[in-house]
Structure formats: structure tokens, C-alpha cells
Amino acid sequence: MFRHPVVIRITHWVNAVCLLVLVMSGLQIFNAHPALYWGSVSTFDTPLMAMSSTEADPPKGVTTVFGHGFDTTGWLGSPIPVRKNMTYLRYAPDVEKPDPDEQKTIDGIINGMTQQSQTVEAREHHAVRASHAKSSACVTGELTIAAGLPPELAQGLFATPGTHPVAVRFAQGPGETLGDRVSTHRGMSIKVFDVPGEKLPGHAVDTQDFVLATGTTFPSGTAAGFLRDGTVIGKSTGLPEGVKSAVSSTMRNLNRALHAFGTESALADFFGHPYSHPLADSYFSQAPVRYGDYVAKLGVVPATESQRALSEWRLDPHQDEDGFRHATVAFFRDHEVVFELRAQIWADADSQPIEDASVDWPVSISPYRTVATLRLPRQDAYGADRVRYFDEVMTFRPAHSLAAHRPLGSVMRARLRVYQALSDFRHSKNGVASEDTASIDHVPA
């Protein structure tokens, strides 16, 4: 006679088989190609079943079983079904809640970053941008506003379909000229021309700037956090480049380890971004802006197959310390570059705070939705005259904005003053007059 009923015995054997499968699937990691460990690839096998999502707008959930894919949007693979009749929150002046000591905090940021710029200027014998100093590409193109947008998206600049000339600067994150082995966050600044409408005080020309960076959040979160973290960065400015490279490498490896557990650190990415291709990255406002009658965060996402094919590209910085620039320039020589500009409309005050830019707004509540297409044609992306104009003369600032796209929140209010002060320092030290470029015709061909 058996000690246990048949049902229990069968259940035990099923559990044993499941446990064996789980253990063996975990042990597959030891058979992986070494490229998995150094981050050149992210997968090493073809699973019998997988849950994933597409890069469609909005994303779609896909469950794959024995090689056959099924659309399971909303319940497997992607929690973002297309939501109908979404109620979005309206902009009002009181959505911002400045701290009482905020202006004093911003003064501290300006003083600290000016000292940092002085240290770099003394070493390099030239004043550079306090952030995103080393450009990778300086290009021109067009931004086409989509027709037929729903009312909540057809706001401000995006209310009227049409095409605007643009100037775009891609750059590495540090406020000093470092080799690419120090791979930190990246920047993408867009200046849109021929933009009529009420501007912010002090902005007198018909342009709209969008200053973007990799990562959907700004890790410091607030002006106070900006001052705290900026103080640490300022103290490290004088350290040898090898130390900065070691920190960047440590942060990059930390995020690789975290990815194994399905998470990541925005701060680690800020200091240790992967050696990825700049034109395969997405870029974000990180903090919110007014979006006409609403509020939004903005992002740009690569939109061509040739750009998406760069997703596994990795720089070997030991072979080329200016490799990001060389790779970007080479790509522009042979390909058109296209990004979709997307808006994430504010929908929930609790989970999508205005004042804390370190909080990632859940896309399950409000996804990024395409409002325009940025097209950058094949061109010489690093011509000497144009680079000199972009790097030495032209300015990109959050304050160069329509009133309808006023930057919002603690970090953005700091940026309104900080960018101006640091630009004044840089141009004064270099003996070059700054220019709030009014027309694409002013940009060297």
C-alpha cells in the first residue's frame, strides 16, 4: 500500500519537476556567452514562453509560446492598454509649491557650479558648458507637428500642425572635456524655430528650446538635492580622470547587477551610462513642463530601423576616447536620423508629483504619446564652423520657451536661473558674445 493518496503523490512529482526546471533554467547562466556579463548582449537563449512588449505607440503586450506570438495587451506582457476617456489634470499656477528657502538654495547651486567651471577653465584654458560640455554632433533638421492630435495633446507648440526648422546638439554629460571611458548620462538639446506666441519674460525671439537627457528622471529630485549632489560633483572636478573613469565603471556595473533583479538605479545611470550609441538612446525632459492647459513630461525616442539596429552597439573606449562622436558623425554621414517626440500628460497628483523630478511617472497611468516627428537628414554632423557656433555662441536653455511650455517644479525653477548664470560666466571668460539664435539662417551650413 502507498502511504499517500494518488493525488498527493502526483502533486509532489509535478512540484519536483517544476523545481528541477527552475533550477536548470537558472543554471543556464553559467553556459552563457561571456558577452552577457560585460553588457554587450542582454539575452542568450530562446525561451519556450516569454512575455514582452513592443515599441509601438502605445506599447502592446506580447506573449510568445513555442515561437508563436499572441497580443495580450493589458493582462500579460504590458500593463498599458489604450485607455479611453482618460481624465487629465489641468495646469494652474498653484500646481507648483516652492520651498521658502528655494532662492537661497538656487544661489548656492550657482555659486557651486561657477566654482566648478572655474576649476575646469583653469585646467583646460577655456570655459566650457557646466553640463554637456563635449559635443557629439551639431545638426539641423525639421520638427513636424502631427495633424489630428486629440485636444489634450494639441497644446502650445503642438496645437498647430506644420513643420519647423530645428538645430540639435548631442553631447556627453560631464561639464568638462573627458575621454569617453567616463561614460555618464547624455544630453540632447533642441532649438525649434519660427514659433510664434507669448514667451517667458526675457525671451524675445520666436524659438522654443527643449533641453533633454537620458533617463526619465533627474536623480537629485529637487533644488535642495541638486545643491547637495552638485557639491559632491564640484569637489570631484579636480580629481584625476582615472578616478572618474573608475567611478563611472563602478556605477555601470552596479546597474548591470541590478538589471538581473529587474530594476536599476537612475543615479547609477547618471554617473555610469552604458557605452551605447548616442543615436540609439532616448532622451527626456525628466522634469515636467506646462503643456498648454495641461502639464507633461517630454521624451524623444529613436524611430528608424537603422537606429534601433544600433541597440547592441557598444563603444570600446580603450580604442577611441572620442568614439561616441566618431560613431555619431559616421552614422549621420550615411543615414537619416528620426526621433518621435512624445508627451506624457499629467494624470495623477500623488504618483506623478510636480516638485520631485526623481519620481518616474508611471506609464501605466499615462503613457508617452507621439505628438511630433524630428527628422535630421544625412549631413556633416561636425563641421568646424557649425561646431564652433553651437559650442561657443549658441545657447540652449529651459528659459527659451513659450509661456505655454513653462518649466515646472523645483529643479526646473533652479534651471531657469542656473543656465543663465553659467552661460554668462562661460561667454565672459571666452570673450564671446552669447546669442539667443532667432533663425535657422544664423546657423552655419
Residue 298 and residue 361: Cα distance in Å, rounded? 11
Domains contained in the chain, CATH given: 93-442 (2.40.180.10)
pLDDT at 37 (0 to 100):
38
Residue 166 and residue 400: Cα distance in Å, rounded? 14
Instruction: Give 426's DSSP letter.
Output: H
* Closest alpha carbon to 213 in 177, 184, 254: 184
* Closest alpha carbon to 420 in 229, 224, 232, 203: 203
pLDDT at 186 (0 to 100):
92
Pairing of strands 283-284, 289-291: unpaired
CB 365 within 8 A of CB 345: no
* Closest alpha carbon to 138 in 189, 176, 194: 189
Residue 440 and residue 249: Cα distance in Å, rounded? 39
CB 149 within 8 A of CB 158: yes
Instruction: Give 174's DSSP letter.
Output: S
Specify the pTM.
Answer: 0.80
Residue 273 and residue 215: Cα distance in Å, rounded? 9
Strand arrangement of the beta sheet that strand 61-65 belongs to: 49-53, 61-65, 68-71
pLDDT block averages, 10 residues each, the chain of length 445: 61 60 46 40 49 57 65 58 70 96 96 94 94 96 98 98 99 87 90 98 97 94 92 79 80 77 76 88 98 99 96 88 95 98 98 97 96 99 97 97 98 96 95 93 95
Q: How far is CA 202 from CA 31, 103, 161, 288, 403, in A?
A: 61, 19, 27, 21, 11
* 3-state secondary structure (DSSP) of residue 158: helix
pLDDT at 14 (0 to 100):
61
Phi, psi values for residue 399, rounded to 5°: -75, -15
